[in-house]
Structure formats: structure tokens, C-alpha cells
Structure 1
Amino acid sequence: MDADPADALADRLSEVDERIAQAARAAGRDPAALTRIVVTKFHPASLVDELAALGVRDVGENRQQELTAKIAELGPRADLTWHFIGQVQTKKARAVRAGASVVHSLDRIRLADALDAAADDTVLDVLLQVNLTDDPARGGVTPADLAALAEHAAGLTTLRVRGVMAVAPLGEHPASAFARLAGHAATVRATVPDATWISAGMTADFAEAIAAGATHLRIGSAITGPRPLHG
């Protein structure tokens, strides 16, 4: 007999949270200091409701259209914090800002200005995405340009620079990639001392991210289950 989907979701969430706690303790860190973001990419808005019923408060989306649609379907939810973790086109900055409380992928001055210009009466938390590869086509600011981006974003009154974000490159051990990210985080803190967030680590590498100081983990299918087919 197939397991009840709600029970299976609760089991996956519990299992991942226990693995996160074990990794935190192994690194000498307090599990309560970590924020687990459940990425619901391609899943229906109803899954967000189910996750909220299980105590999930932080959810992430990669695409602006999906973020906007889910928020419209669910309505105002004071119990949820929406994290936008995908690349942002400047022309979609207003729509992203209208939905997300945190943007993890600020990677250029032009985007910082677009997000600032889209301000309402709130301050938007942002993380500076760092490109840890040698491929300029990948998302993220180059390490050489990181300090300038941090200084510019910190000067925009409607943005609050919280820290850095990155994805470990394929073909590199995550521990070495995240060690470099920790160094880049220190670069940002030299400009913004309270920018202490490090968004790093997904299902396959969150233990290495935690050991390197990650504060925010982006976990998808290990909790949500396989993504539905999409067009």
C-alpha cells in the first residue's frame, strides 16, 4: 500500500532536518542558527500550504512567474518568508520585489538599481551572488567586482545587504568551493559588518556548506519529492 503523501512529506522534512542538525553538531554549530529554505520549484502552491502546516516558514522559488503565481493563489501569508533564488532580469525586478522578502541573487549594479527603483515602503533583504567558476556566463558577480557591488548596494536605502550566496561548481569538491565563499563573505563584511548571512548548500552538499559557515540552506527535492513534469 502506498504511503500517504502528507505522511511522506513530513517524513522527508524530518529526515532532512535531522541530517542538518547532525551536520551542524559535527561542525560545532547550533542547528537553531541555520535557516532551512524549502525550494518548491515546479510544485503546485498547495504543496506550500502543506509545508506551512508542517511548520515550514521559509520557501524558495527560482522563477519570477512561478513566485508571482503562487503568491497570488495562496494570498497574503504572514507565516511565510519567500526567498527568490534564481537569476533576476532587470525588467522583472519589480515583480520579484513585489513577491519576495529576500533576493539571493543580486549580482550586478544595474540589478541593484532596478530593485531599488521598484521599492514600495519596505526594505528588501538581498544577498550578493558570487560566481565561483571561471565561466562568466554563470550567474554571480566575479570575486574581483564583489567589493564594489557590496559598496553600491549598501548605499541604496531600500536594500539591506545581508551577505553572500553561491552554488558549488560542478567538478569541484564542495568543501573547497564553500571555503572560498567564506572568504568572499569576509570581503562583504569589510564593507557591511552585519552582512553575516551565507546562503550555500543544497541537498547534495549542505553538510560541507554548514562546515564552512553557511547560515541558509536551499533544499528542494529531498524534501518536496520529485518535481512534477513541466512544460
Structure 2
Amino acid sequence: MTDLAERLTALDARIADAARAVGRDPGALTRIVVTKFHPAQVVADLAALGVRDVGENRQQELTAKRAALQQVEGPAADVRWHFIGQLQSKKARAVRAASDCVHSVDRDRVADALHAADPDGSVLDVFLQVNLTDDPGRGGISPGEVETLAEHVAARCPSLRVCGVMAVAPLTQAPAAAFERLAAAADAVRRVVPDAAWMSAGMSGDFAEAIAAGATHLRIGTAITGPRPADG
């Protein structure tokens, strides 16, 4: 717990420094702690340290951890859960049931499945995932098609709220250049949904570049949680 607290404090100081360096308010950023492969107790420990946003990549892990922590008293029961992994249409119902926000809507079919899972329920915040690589097999829609996807979600999926865009910087490109392309995609989405002001970008190794490009939501894993468990 002491190590976790120290890493969290150190990382938040680095985030604040990166924000101030480009004239941004650190308080306007949402730091999501990615807890994949770590036990639910780590989420409980993080919540006790003041963390309110956690992210999971896999539906089964998300569902299990949220269910476990909703049975306990204390801050862990009020954590906001972000699904940040690739989403298959067949898992949309389970993801929607366990998520407060989904970062990986990348095609009409996924959006339709999320909407159909609970069309009359509470509105679900979603990001449109953009593929910044040249590999069409990677998750995300191409930057040139993101505006069309935004139009589809806004018109056909009223139970979803398009909040912005998400991407992972490719290893073959400088993060700053990649996030500039994501910022351009964000501009395209705002032509359809003017208040879609969020940008989910930046991980442990490139959050400073993401902040400089306008990221509002940072997805930080090992810099806070430490190494994954040996069986992860």
C-alpha cells in the first residue's frame, strides 16, 4: 500500500508538471488507473487513496472486479469504471452493464450493440476509437471515417453520448505527431457533436505529449500499479 501511494503521488506530480508546462490546469485532467491483471484489492486500495477512475481491458475482468467491489462498503463501491479494451459486439451487453464509460467504439455495429443492450437506460458515455496506424487490423476507425461514425452514433444510438475520441500512439511514430492527428480527428467529431470535448490519450510513457496535444483523459497503468502479477 505504501509503494502504491508513493507511485500514485509521484505520477500525479509528473502529470501536473506536464500540464503546467503547456499552460493547462492539472485539475481539468482525468487520470484513469489501468488495473488489468491486478486483483480487485488493488482497486480497493487505490480507491482508499482517492482514485475515482479505473480502467479495464477485458470484459470478464471488468465484470468480476466491479461485482466484487460493489459488495463492500467504502470508496471502492463508488469507483467509475472505464472499459478501454477492444470491444466485440457479442460482449456489448456485458460491457455496458459493468461500465460507466466505454473508450473503444470503433464501428457502427459496436455502437448499435451497446445501444441495443439498454436503449432506455441511463446514457452511456463513449469515446470513438481512432486507429493512428497503417494497419487496418488494429482497433479503431481511420481518422477519415470518424466523422461518419460520429454521425451514426448521434443519430441512431440515443442511449450513447459521444464524448470525444480515443487512440493509442503507434510505436513506429513519435507520440507528439500521432496525437496531433488525434486532435484533428477530435475536431472532425466536434463538427457533428459540438460538445464532444474529451480526448482519451496518453499512457505511462507518453502522457506528456498527449497532454500537450489536448488529452483530457490519461490511461496510466504500470507507472502506478507496478509490475503485473506473475500469472497476469
Q: Normalising by structure 1, what TM-score?
A: 0.96
How far apart are the structure 1 equivalents of 2:18 and 2:51?
Answer: 20
Aligned to 1:140: 140
Aligned to 1:19: 14
Aligned to 1:3: none
Asked whether the equivalents of residues 70 and 77 of structure 2 are also in contact (C-alpha less than 8 Å), the reply is: no
Q: Give CA deviations for 1:149-190 in whole Å, capped at 9, x if unaligned.
A: 000111211000000000000121100000110000000000
- Paired residue type of 2:136: P
Aligned to 1:216: 217
SS across alignment from 1:60: strand
Sequence identity percentage:
70
Asked whether the equivalents of residues 36 and 56 of structure 2 are also in contact (C-alpha less than 8 Å), the reply is: yes
Deviation, structure 1 residue 43: 0.2
Deviation, structure 1 residue 18: 0.1
How far apart are the structure 1 equivalents of 2:163 and 2:213?
Answer: 17
SS across alignment from 2:162: strand
Aligned to 1:117: 116
CA 1:43–1:78 in structure 2 vs 1: closer, same or farther (change >3 Å)? closer
Deviation, structure 1 residue 79: 2.1
Deviation, structure 1 residue 230: 2.8
Aligned to 2:99: 100
Aligned to 2:70: 75
How far apart are the structure 1 equivalents of 2:159 and 2:231?
Answer: 35
Deviation, structure 1 residue 29: 0.1
Q: Normalising by structure 2, what TM-score?
A: 0.95
Aligned to 2:152: 152
Task: Give the alignment partner of residue 39 of structure 2, picking from 41, 44, 54.
Answer: 44
- Paired residue type of 1:140: G
Deviation, structure 1 residue 144: 2.1
Deviation, structure 1 residue 78: 5.2
CA 1:72–1:79 in structure 2 vs 1: closer, same or farther (change >3 Å)? closer
Q: Give CA deviations for 1:33-70 in whole Å, capped at 9, x if unaligned.
A: 00000000000000000000000000000000000110
Aligned to 2:206: 205
Q: CA RMSD in A?
A: 1.0
How far apart are the structure 1 equivalents of 2:67 and 2:182?
Answer: 35
Q: Is 2:31 the partner of 1:31?
A: no
- Paired residue type of 1:102: C
How far apart are the structure 1 equivalents of 2:231 and 2:58?
Answer: 13
How far apart are the structure 1 equivalents of 2:143 and 2:19?
Answer: 27
- Paired residue type of 1:121: G
Q: Give the 4+ runs in structure 1 shifted more than 4 A.
A: none
Aligned to 1:59: 54
Q: Give CA deviations for 1:125-157 in whole Å, capped at 9, x if unaligned.
A: 000000001100000001121111000111211
- Paired residue type of 1:109: D
Matched pairs, number: 226
